[in-house]
Structure 1
Amino acid sequence: MAEEVYDFIIVGAGPAGCTLASSLARTIAKPRILLLEAGSKNDDKSHRVVGKRWMTFQEESMNWGYKTTPQDGCDGRVLDYSRGKGLGGGSAINFGIYTVGARDDYESWAEIVGDEGFGWDQMQRRFKSLETFGLGGCGSEEGSKYGNPTAGDHGHEGALKVGFAKEWEMDLRPLMDCFEEAGLERNLDHNSGDPLGMGLCVHSAGDGVRSTAKDLLIDGPGNLVVITDTPVQRILFDGKRAVGVETRGNKFLASKEVILCAGSLDSPKILMHSGIGPASELNKFNIPIVHDIPAIGQGLKDHFFAPLLLSRSPETNDRNAFFKSEAAMTDAMTQWEEDGTGPWSKYGCQLTIGWFKSDTITSTEEFKALPKSTREFMNRETIPHYEVVAGFPIHLLFPGMLSDYSYTCLAVFLMNEQSVGEVRLQSSNPDDPLLFDPKILSHPFDQRAVIDMYRHLLEISKHPSFAKDSLATILGPKSESDDDILQFWKDNISSSWHMMGTVKMGRIGDRDVAVDSGFRVFGVEGLRVADMSVVPVLTNNHTQATAYVTGATCADVLIREYELDQ
């Protein structure tokens, strides 16, 4: 078997891995970096159409196609657990919402791990270094009423184009006005560190083209080697030092370190098949133990959501004229291919989104029964309890679901879920995925919270300014009783694909952690993990941004330790 030697080997080319690889490779020292990706190059331009980003997860070649185990809390349902495959990882198939979360998320992260490098000031600096922010339709006086970011809170020279769409659907502004009339405070920039309030969604796109982590690799230096279609099966050790990785038929060696960036569902798999994980699990499948770390595979959390789908007066929007015309959609694609403009850069391209606190939720017995530290965190200034999204183009996700596109889809997302799941081995074959059990709605707080926050969504939908254009409920609970709302969640809940926490970061000596604040795996040398699996706080956002900043933070750590910029 061929054996090639690099300074650093990075496994997984999603947001964290691409950020880390690009950052290390561009240092003064120019270390030799190998970035290994299990999937393909993902170089089909048609998958970058910003208005079609809701459909790319349906591309089998770009999605691992994972599913959860049957969920007891959802009457045995098996949920979609999509994971991106190929260069860009999840950023190549997600819905393109780019929100950084609350500053208190990162302050809490820093406190948990005992390292100020994870606090908001440092994280915001990294976010800004990654992005080029575009005002889009907010560049006008009329648009600035709905989105008006402070320039100093954003970056303007990064590889990732993020921001607002240039063109908005005709019902977006009226919806925003309705929400304000219904009592929802407006937020002119969710990415300032304070996400509370309703506002325009920041998207990972620019000039009609979706951004993915692959953009960070453009014009990469010669010391960065990227190899695709190469799944890593296990880490190679010399004693307790990681010295490389083994793929199907090849070995690649690292003179300095191996860093896993394969995500919350696959980094723990590679670790376990390499002999690092809970001894009880490894023994079941006769995997030789390198180091017993019970926390690996535990701590799985996610954001879950449920929709409210309402038919609307046809004069409020013009979606039928576009989506019922094959000619219109074909012509729009031709225009997009020419310059990135046109209807495919408008329809489904600008959402309105907001995060909210709830006195109703914090006054419940289920909230009062939570640990004091959890209650204190959820009462911090910038921490929300749930999220509302409006304008969700659900007909693109589920073709054939609707024949009339005059509708509005609202969705509500639970923040700070208290149900904790796990991932575990199902065989000794490293090509088999783990078993994914998020234990959805298993915690009493989650069951109570989803009822109360969905009831608020119903209240918003019944406000006169909104209800005057609603014709009927297409999808919603049978009634507003607690039982019917909870049953609706069980029947319709979906994952946001924000899985995290399965190789948790913490302080040395903590029982439920697997890596330290330097991303080093406990008990071994030369091995780190830097992706959403290590994040100890389920950040209040759509977590692709957190994955990017996790990779950027690990890069800062390695650059400092190895003096790569001196």
Structure 2
Amino acid sequence: MGSHSRDSFDFIVVGSGPAGCALAASLAKSAKRPNVLLLEAGSRNDDKTLRVSGKRWVTMMEPNLNWGYKTTPQEHCSGRQIDYSRGKGLGGSSAINFGVYTVGARDDYDQWAAEVADDTFAWTNIHSRFKALETFGKIATPEQQKYGAPKAADHGDKGPLGIGYAAEWESDLPLILDAFEEAGVERNMDHNSGNPIGMGLFINSVRDGVRTTAADLVKDAPENLVIVVDSPVQRVIFEGKKAVGVETNGKQYFASKDVIISAGSLDSPKILMHSGIGPAAELTKFNIPVIQDIPAIGQGLKDHPFVTFIVTRKPETNDRNAFFKSPEAMEAAMKQWEQDGTGPWARHGNQLGVGWFKSDKITSSEEFKALPAEVQDFLNRETIPHYELATGLPLHMQVPDLFPDFSYVCLAVFLMNQQSRGEVRLQSSNPDDPLLFDPHFLEHPYDRRACIEMYRHLYEVVEHPAFAKDTIATVMGPASKSDEDILQFWKDHMTSSWHMTGTVKMGKEGEEDAAVDNGFRVFGVQGLRVADMSVVPVMTNNHTQATAYVTGATCGDVLIKEYGLDQ
């Protein structure tokens, strides 16, 4: 427990991912210096070699850092169980994700504000919180600045999260970006400006070759922030309808003000359900006494499914074989990285190209026209994309056997604004058992149509002479370009991008699909809030770690204001 022998705090935050760390740090550093307890189910996770920028593609394979979740068999994905990895340990999923930092579209946040009738969540306010979180690193070399040129006004320079572009790029990245431009793909100089439309460069949650995680927000924490690891929370302790603390492995901790659950879209609903908060019929089935019946808890699960397209390339376009086929080169590179964060491990797989796009083929489809008018309106807004295209995924690091030759390009397409809605539900009365996760991937006709059309756009780009001139063969793609074969390819190969959102949705009192209000308070009880991706009512058009950070920071602002902690 560190220097605290007492088990009572002002606030308890459960879960140390981006949301939990941003929230705990923000509360602890407020002027009143309240006592904050941050509980983490996993370990301290402070081995620096887990932060090698070029190895961020394989950290998720460390079994002690990953809960190892899987979905239920997916009816519309050839009956497959799909990987549903979640981070375990200080930093949560930010410690095992692929280290990309994208904030989404300004229309996402304006929509959130509109849905909950509160400008706290509008882009202008969210944008200033994003800036406060980051120290942004620009592109170092002048010849690379034609691919990315962010405006200083859109970024922060004093925040705890070091983000930016890789200092060293693989030689084929400019070739690919130039080919995309020749193929008529518009360019975007900064996808974190509030408008992600167009092709550019991923901004990375990496600084000087070292990956940034949520643990960076609490590493110089003041003494009034106590972090306790190896403490999975089984339930919230209630007195009547007031949350007064939590229980972890038989130990109890108490909060005089609030308990805030920040365990993510897969685990926050679990803690709530085992505490008697959730769909009454479900809880009763597992003999859990009902404190508050909230049918929405566990419903509304959203995600970004993606699939790849892989082609081998002329070996002279890159130097991957020389590096990845030489254990000596990789070992020497590790020594160099340990010295100063530079070298091949800060170059290979460190800077990827990415873009978000709209499609007339999607919006003119029957499936689009069948969507509710307000959904069509949202999808037609200026900054809202229909899909994402990324290039350069170093897939051989995860499945080396697939690649006898590392001169290849792996492109990925991600469906944005999926219309299928999934759910998470109890599978037992044991709070240490995970919930059942059923995202209902590809169930909605719109999703299937959009997946076909966006894959066709990918074909157009890779078949353009500017790109095709360096391509040798296709390693992985659909059997043909027919709708049926493209869709079958999705069904057989689609995976989650681990952006689970919306299972404890924020909304207005009385809305049947909502579980918390605009102050993050769980309906019908006192002293209990949820702040993480589970409450976000809009499936943001990004890789969601940035939204998780800003959700925690926003909840911090709300609590600081409510309790007058800044005086």
With the length of structure 1 as denominator, give the TM-score of the two structures. 0.99
* Shift, 1:53, TM fit: 0.1
Who is 1:367 aligned against?
A: 368
Counterpart residue type for residue 18 of structure 2? P
Who is 1:91 aligned against?
A: 94
Aligned partners of 1:295, 1:365: CA distance in 2, in Å?
Answer: 30
* Shift, 1:144, TM fit: 1.1
Who is 1:527 aligned against?
A: 528
Q: Deviations along 1:133-158, whole A, 9 cap, x unmatched?
A: 011xx233211101100001000011
Aligned partners of 2:461, 2:313: CA distance in 1, in Å?
Answer: 15
- The yes-or-no answer on 1:25 pairing with 2:22 is no
Aligned partners of 1:489, 1:531: CA distance in 2, in Å?
Answer: 29
Question: How do residues 22-421 of structure 1 correspond to structure 2 at under 5 angstroms?
Answer: 22-135=25-138, 138-421=139-422
- The yes-or-no answer on 1:427 pairing with 2:428 is yes
User: Aligned to 1:10, what secondary structure does the other structure show?
Assistant: strand
Counterpart residue type for residue 102 of structure 2? T
Counterpart residue type for residue 52 of structure 1? K
Counterpart residue type for residue 204 of structure 1? S
Who is 1:5 aligned against?
A: 8
Aligned partners of 2:6, 2:84: CA distance in 1, in Å?
Answer: 35
Aligned partners of 2:146, 2:79: CA distance in 1, in Å?
Answer: 45
Kept after mapping to 2: 8 A contact 1:3/1:253: no
Aligned partners of 1:115, 1:241: CA distance in 2, in Å?
Answer: 25
Aligned partners of 1:521, 1:140: CA distance in 2, in Å?
Answer: 49
Aligned partners of 2:173, 2:450: CA distance in 1, in Å?
Answer: 28
Aligned partners of 1:28, 1:415: CA distance in 2, in Å?
Answer: 40
Q: How many residues are aligned here? A: 563
Unaligned runs of 5+ residues in structure 2 are none
Kept after mapping to 2: 8 A contact 1:3/1:250: no
Counterpart residue type for residue 166 of structure 2? A
Aligned partners of 2:457, 2:191: CA distance in 1, in Å?
Answer: 21
Kept after mapping to 2: 8 A contact 1:277/1:295: yes
Aligned partners of 1:4, 1:550: CA distance in 2, in Å?
Answer: 27
User: Aligned to 2:264, what secondary structure does the other structure show?
Assistant: coil
Unaligned runs of 5+ residues in structure 1 are none
Aligned partners of 2:193, 2:342: CA distance in 1, in Å?
Answer: 28
* Shift, 1:415, TM fit: 0.3
Counterpart residue type for residue 100 of structure 2? I
* Shift, 1:3, TM fit: 7.0
Aligned partners of 2:512, 2:279: CA distance in 1, in Å?
Answer: 12
Aligned partners of 1:286, 1:139: CA distance in 2, in Å?
Answer: 59
Aligned partners of 1:219, 1:273: CA distance in 2, in Å?
Answer: 34
Kept after mapping to 2: 8 A contact 1:49/1:345: yes
Aligned partners of 1:165, 1:212: CA distance in 2, in Å?
Answer: 16
User: Aligned to 1:107, what secondary structure does the other structure show?
Assistant: helix
Who is 1:467 aligned against?
A: 468
Aligned partners of 2:322, 2:142: CA distance in 1, in Å?
Answer: 29
User: Aligned to 1:145, what secondary structure does the other structure show?
Assistant: coil
Aligned partners of 2:83, 2:211: CA distance in 1, in Å?
Answer: 23
Kept after mapping to 2: 8 A contact 1:38/1:85: yes
* Shift, 1:190, TM fit: 0.3
User: Aligned to 2:283, what secondary structure does the other structure show?
Assistant: helix
* Shift, 1:400, TM fit: 2.3
Aligned partners of 1:126, 1:3: CA distance in 2, in Å?
Answer: 33
* Shift, 1:399, TM fit: 3.0
Aligned partners of 2:246, 2:400: CA distance in 1, in Å?
Answer: 41
Aligned partners of 1:204, 1:401: CA distance in 2, in Å?
Answer: 28
Aligned partners of 1:227, 1:427: CA distance in 2, in Å?
Answer: 27
Aligned partners of 1:311, 1:365: CA distance in 2, in Å?
Answer: 36
Aligned partners of 2:322, 2:47: CA distance in 1, in Å?
Answer: 28
* Shift, 1:8, TM fit: 0.1
Aligned partners of 2:58, 2:82: CA distance in 1, in Å?
Answer: 17
User: Aligned to 2:559, what secondary structure does the other structure show?
Assistant: helix
Aligned partners of 1:28, 1:171: CA distance in 2, in Å?
Answer: 50
Q: Deviations along 1:421-471, whole A, 9 cap, x unmatched?
A: 000000000000000000000000001110010011011100000001100
Kept after mapping to 2: 8 A contact 1:181/1:465: yes
User: Aligned to 2:11, what secondary structure does the other structure show?
Assistant: strand
* Shift, 1:39, TM fit: 0.3
Aligned partners of 2:350, 2:292: CA distance in 1, in Å?
Answer: 47
* Shift, 1:487, TM fit: 0.3
User: Aligned to 2:230, what secondary structure does the other structure show?
Assistant: coil
Who is 2:482 aligned against?
A: 481
* Shift, 1:375, TM fit: 0.3
Counterpart residue type for residue 101 of structure 2? Y
Aligned partners of 2:118, 2:339: CA distance in 1, in Å?
Answer: 48
User: Aligned to 1:355, what secondary structure does the other structure show?
Assistant: strand
Kept after mapping to 2: 8 A contact 1:54/1:396: yes
Aligned partners of 2:373, 2:453: CA distance in 1, in Å?
Answer: 21
Aligned partners of 1:491, 1:377: CA distance in 2, in Å?
Answer: 30
User: Aligned to 2:548, what secondary structure does the other structure show?
Assistant: helix
Aligned partners of 1:110, 1:388: CA distance in 2, in Å?
Answer: 28
Counterpart residue type for residue 388 of structure 2? E
Aligned partners of 1:468, 1:247: CA distance in 2, in Å?
Answer: 59
Aligned partners of 1:224, 1:111: CA distance in 2, in Å?
Answer: 34
Aligned partners of 2:245, 2:149: CA distance in 1, in Å?
Answer: 48
Aligned partners of 1:141, 1:253: CA distance in 2, in Å?
Answer: 54
Aligned partners of 1:480, 1:401: CA distance in 2, in Å?
Answer: 23
Runs of 4 or more above 2 Å deviation: 138-141
Aligned partners of 1:217, 1:100: CA distance in 2, in Å?
Answer: 21
Counterpart residue type for residue 175 of structure 1? I
Counterpart residue type for residue 469 of structure 1? D
CA RMSD in angstroms comes to 0.7
Counterpart residue type for residue 480 of structure 1? K
User: Aligned to 2:234, what secondary structure does the other structure show?
Assistant: strand
User: Aligned to 1:232, what secondary structure does the other structure show?
Assistant: coil
With the length of structure 2 as denominator, give the TM-score of the two structures. 0.99
Q: Deviations along 1:119-145, whole A, 9 cap, x unmatched?
A: 00000000000000011xx23321110
